[in-house]
Structure 1
């Protein structure tokens, strides 16, 4: 299927590992120009090599999205190289563990909002003018099942993901008439390095094996994952590429749940 993405320029934040890396690789396979950013230089360069091995054109830039000057450098470097940014995937985000409300201080709340929400706002604000000038753009924000169906733990993380869904809907109404479509993808229980780390930490706390921690988490916290397994980063990436494509030109403001059925509501 021709998705019409050949030679499009795609910026993926948090593109050095996990879901972000899978998204960058999937766009590279479609013949796109790729810009990836992350805070860790080594993983960033390693991912850039993988993209190049697929034949993709790639620009890898170390950037901390909580720092405005880093965001400005990221976007200006992309524009200098490719002249425009057709697709923005706001994937960069953090989670701090299976924290309960009472153990979280206000600094933990501020930090996670600065990365997960304000980082997305900073990059989007920097990219939007170029999309408006081109009369074309696709913005896909990576949220989570936790933004719709929050757990009892990690309330600060859950709140950031809910904010992204709301932010997406607002922008989808503001910019559609200018050719810019904005959508959300909300994964659930995807086996990323971040989730793997959280589960290993939980296994250690509970004195159980890693595999037991996975099954316990599924049973207790994701009982409606009807496929009875974690999802893959490639499954998330495929949905993002589709939303960026010409095949999704009448989809705007949606929250596409890639969750194996985990969200129980309609």
Structure 2
């Protein structure tokens, strides 16, 4: 399928693995020039090698979304490499502080919000002028099922992702008439390094193999995931790529759930 983005320029944060990496691959396959970013340059370089993009169509620059100076440097690198971007996919984030509410300190809350909510705010502020220039733009945030169905053992993450939905909706009202469309994708329990770490921890705590830990997590913690498996990152990336495309020209301010039915309400 032709997504109508040949020649468009995209920045994908969290691009060294998981959903970000697969999104970058799909955008490259559709003819876009892509910049991937994450904190570690070595892992980015390895990810870029695996993507095997044509020369000049893929760039990899490390940046920290909690640092204004780092994001300013990233903006300068992107400008020098590709110029103004047309597409921004904000996929970088962490699970953050976990535990019941009374167990999480101010530090845990602050660090999680700083990465998962203020990080995207800083990133968009840095690249918004570029996205507004061409009369055609796409901004996609990775939110989470947790934004609308919070879990009691990761409330800082839930609150941050709920904030992302509100941020995206507000931005979608501000800039759509300029051609910049803003949307969210909310995955649930996807096969990524983040959930690998969660399941390895659960496996140790329960004293069972990882496969059994995953099965028990689905039964006990995510009973509405009707497919009874983790999603694959490319299943989420396909929806992200659509929202980045010319085909999504009437989609704005939306939140697409890619969750196997995990969210229990309509």
Q: In which range does the TM-score fall when normalised by the shorter chain?
A: over 0.9
Q: Is the 8 A contact 1:97 1:198 kept in 2?
A: no
Within 5 Å, give how 1:248-263 maps onto structure 2. 248-263=248-263
5+ long unaligned stretches in structure 1: none
Deviation at 1:100, TM superposition (A): 2.0
How far residue 161 of structure 1 moved from its aligned partner, in angstroms, is 0.8
2:204 alignment counterpart: 204
Mapped to 1, the partners of 2:135 and 2:53 lie a distance apart of: 29
Alignment of 1:26-175 (within 5 A): 26-51=26-51, 53-55=52-54, 57-96=57-96, 98-175=98-175
CA contact (8 A) 2:11 2:88 kept: yes
TM-score under structure 1 length normalisation: 0.96
Partners of 2:152 and 2:203 in 1: how far apart?
A: 18
Q: Distance in 2 between matches of 1:28 and 1:209?
A: 37
**2-side partners of 1:84 and 1:130: how far apart?**
5
Per-residue Cα deviation, 1:7-37 (whole angstroms, up to 9, x for no partner): 1111011111111111111111111111111
1:106-150 CA-to-partner distances (Å, cap 9, x unmatched) read 111111111111110111011111122212210000010011111
Match of 1:9 in 2: 9
How large is the Cα RMSD of the aligned pairs? Answer: 1.2
CA contact (8 A) 1:137 1:180 kept: yes
2:163 and 2:208 map into 1 onto residues whose CA distance is 34
For 1:189, the equivalent position in structure 2 comes to 189
Instruction: Note the alpha carbon deviations across 1:164-187, whole angstroms, 9 max, x for none.
Output: 011110000011011100000000
Contact kept? 1:98, 1:202, Cα under 8 Å: no
SS at match of 1:257: strand
After the TM superposition, list the runs of 4 or more consecutive aligned residues in structure 1 that deviate by more than 3 angstroms.
none
State the alpha-carbon separation in 2 of the partners of residues 140 and 43 from structure 1: 23
| Unmatched 5+ stretches in structure 2 | none
Report if the CA contact (8 A) 2:97-2:104 is conserved: no
Figure out how many residues of one structure are paired with residues of the other and give that number.
265
SS at match of 1:6: coil
Give the secondary-structure state (helix, strand or coil) at the position aligned to 1:34: strand
Deviation at 1:97, TM superposition (A): 6.4
- 1: CA distance between counterparts of 2:28 and 2:189? 25
Q: Within 1, Cα distance between the matches of 2:188 and 2:95? A: 14
1:35-70 Cα deviation digits (max 9, x unpaired): 11111222111011122x143611111111111011
Q: CA deviation at 1:209?
A: 2.0
Task: Give the C-alpha shift of residue 77 in structure 1.
Answer: 1.3
CA distance in 1, matches of 2:25, 2:43: 14
Alignment map for 1:173-252 (pairs within 5 Å): 173-252=173-252
Q: Normalising to structure 2: TM-score of the pair?
A: 0.96
In the alignment, is the contact (CA less than 8 A) between 2:97 and 2:157 conserved in 1?
no
Relative to structure 1, the CA distance from residue 96 to residue 133 in structure 2 (aligned partners, 3 Å threshold; closer, same or farther) is: closer
